[in-house]
Chain A
């Protein structure tokens, strides 16, 4: 019991635990849509892109670096969507070019000018130190926004994720829903970046959702399970990070990976079959439909 209670004496750990648990839940919730839409690579790319925006923004106005990074991330997300829809460039190539170039710019700016916010290592791998009240408020606000968006648009989101063309015929404004999802994803990545880290956010978007898929065939239950698994990984990972003295993001992801292995062993072939081809028609979601 002491092991669990002792770190809670420190205010920084209380904040870290809250942020890690909420971050895990948020990424687990939104990760269901990202995985089922075959957008895992976008999650990976966006987090790297936001790192570039973060470095650029703090050059001009250190106090607004979060806002700058957020706008940069949203702009990158929309740029990827436009490039893929309007050109022959595939989604993976567009993400590779736009987001990794942005990341490289961020690394160059960090090397040249340093940082007035989080350190380079902390930005990459996450840290529980120095979490401000503003960041906590931001994360809570983004979590509430994401929860409200998913609750109120549950049916339209489900339909457009499963079958965008039929959803459009049935009156769902698919383009608008997809753009809104990209914006919410950018905000979620931005809000969780501090604790999870740029390079590890994508893993927490994917791991809880895949674990949940291995455990259920129902979409509603998958959303609930993925959120719970994400939160549990954040909570346990944060404690392990404290005792092991390693960056929080790495431990949270390692806990997720361990749960994945355990669930895989438990569900065996059934779980693998469920999670196979989750994003089977992801190409159709971003590209123009093929001529038939």
Chain B
């Protein structure tokens, strides 16, 4: 699985800065997304991870720098589960069909559209749930439903905001495998995560963000105590287990020892 991106570019940010009101969230960020990319954006809360996704998606304009997108590039976005109003009156079928706003003018789904939705739900392991209200799904099923909605557009680039936030370990594994399969099929993926061990360490390419890009590279190059301290502003230890990087908080005992020294 490659992920650093060497194929043709889909989106390119050069020297981009972004802010909300007067609060600068990102400054001088350059980030290129290629056709074969699979990147995790890591950083603490408020580091600008979601803002970076918004700049890629064109739902936010930068205050400086330039953004280039491949003409006609198809992008899909999966938001954080926490931002969704789960009480909204829609069924899974209605929700997955939402991106189909062009072509068919009629409100109701055609037979072909229904078959398409059933097929993608089946592929994601939630076939048979099309008639359920979205609130009646588990966290993992809700994530898959949004993935199904994103895939219905047949995207070249899939952007996901904290896809494993609030889901259990088994679902996290399933989501990771699913994303790996999609990447193998040629979908470029950029996701944000603050889960270093469960998510970031398994990805082929990482970008550490904290108001700017702190580091960029393979997990072996990026998941180091020095980079993590610059990214998260906290000391962490990095262990090696079966060739994988494992991050642990600095132990309370060592903090106490340092405090006494």
A281 x B105 contact (CB < 8 A): no
A171 x B25 contact (CB < 8 A): no
Over the window 200-232 of chain A, the binary record of Cβ atoms lying under 8 Å from chain B Cβ atoms (1 yes, 0 no) is: 000000000000010011111010000000000
B98 x A217 contact (CB < 8 A): no
Task: Tell me the bound Cα distance from A274 to B77 in angstroms.
Answer: 27
A291 x B98 contact (CB < 8 A): no
Task: Tell me the bound Cα distance from A69 to B193 in angstroms.
Answer: 51
**Segment with Cβ contacts to A, from B88-96, B173-181, B249-257:** B88-96
Over the window 65-104 of chain B, the binary record of Cβ atoms lying under 8 Å from chain A Cβ atoms (1 yes, 0 no) is: 0000000000111010001110111110011011111100
Q: Is A292 an interface residue (CB 8 A)?
A: yes
Question: Please, which residues of chain B bring their CB within 8 A of the CB of A169?
Answer: 57-59, 75-77
Q: A167-B98, A218-B89, A281-B83 are in contact. Are A155 and B107 (CB under 8 A)?
A: yes
Question: Please, which residues of chain B bring their CB within 8 A of the CB of A217?
Answer: 89, 91, 133, 135
Q: A217-B89, A220-B108 are in contact. Are A291 and B23 (CB under 8 A)?
A: yes
B85 x A218 contact (CB < 8 A): no
B98 x A159 contact (CB < 8 A): yes
B101 x A159 contact (CB < 8 A): yes
* Distance in Å: Cβ of A177 to nearest Cβ of chain B: 10
Query: What is the interface size of chain B, counting residues whose CB is below 8 A from a CB of the partner?
Result: 43
Q: A163-B84, A165-B79, A169-B76 are in contact. Are A158 and B90 (CB under 8 A)?
A: yes
Q: A166-B79, A220-B107 are in contact. Are A292 and B45 (CB under 8 A)?
A: yes
Nearest residue in A to B49 (C-beta to C-beta)?
Answer: A292
Q: Is A288 an interface residue (CB 8 A)?
A: yes
B59 x A170 contact (CB < 8 A): no
Q: A277-B87, A281-B84 are in contact. Are A290 and B101 (CB under 8 A)?
A: no
Task: Tell me the bound Cα distance from A274 to B135 in angstroms.
Answer: 10
Task: Tell me the bound Cα distance from A222 to B88 in angstroms.
Answer: 11
Overall SS of chain B's interface: loop
Question: Please, which residues of chain B bring their CB within 8 A of the CB of A151?
Answer: 107
Q: Is A289 an interface residue (CB 8 A)?
A: yes
Question: Please, which residues of chain A bring their CB within 8 A of the CB of B50?
Answer: 292
Q: How large is the interface on A (under 10, 10 to 19, 20 to 34, 35 or more residues)?
A: 35 or more
A-B contact number at CB 8 A? 111
Most A-side CB within 10 Å, residue of B25, B54, B85, B97: B85
Question: Please, which residues of chain B bring their CB within 8 A of the CB of A213?
Answer: 89
Question: Please, which residues of chain A bring their CB within 8 A of the CB of B95?
Answer: 162
* Distance in Å: Cβ of B60 to nearest Cβ of chain A: 8
Most A-side CB within 10 Å, residue of B51, B60, B98, B106: B98
A274 x B89 contact (CB < 8 A): yes
* Pick from B51, B87, B97, B107: contact of A292, CB under 8 Å: B51
Task: Tell me the bound Cα distance from A231 to B107 in angstroms.
Answer: 22
A165 x B77 contact (CB < 8 A): yes
Q: Is A64 an interface residue (CB 8 A)?
A: no
Task: Tell me the bound Cα distance from A292 to B192 in angstroms.
Answer: 11
Nearest residue in B to A273 (C-beta to C-beta)?
Answer: B87
Question: Please, which residues of chain A bring their CB within 8 A of the CB of B87?
Answer: 273-274, 276-278, 280
Would you list 27 pairs from A and B whose C-beta atoms are within 8 A, ordered by A residue?
A: A36-B88, A155-B107, A156-B101, A158-B94, A159-B98, A162-B85, A165-B54, A166-B79, A166-B149, A167-B98, A168-B59, A170-B101, A213-B89, A218-B91, A219-B90, A219-B94, A220-B107, A222-B89, A273-B87, A274-B89, A276-B87, A278-B85, A288-B21, A291-B46, A292-B45, A292-B48, A292-B51
11 more contacts with CB within 8 A, not counting A158-B94, A163-B84, are A36-B89, A159-B98, A163-B79, A170-B98, A170-B99, A218-B94, A220-B108, A222-B89, A274-B89, A280-B88, A292-B50
B interface vs A, CB < 8 Å? Answer: 20-21, 23, 25, 45-46, 48-51, 54, 57-60, 75-77, 79, 83-85, 87-91, 94-95, 97-102, 105-108, 133, 135, 149, 153
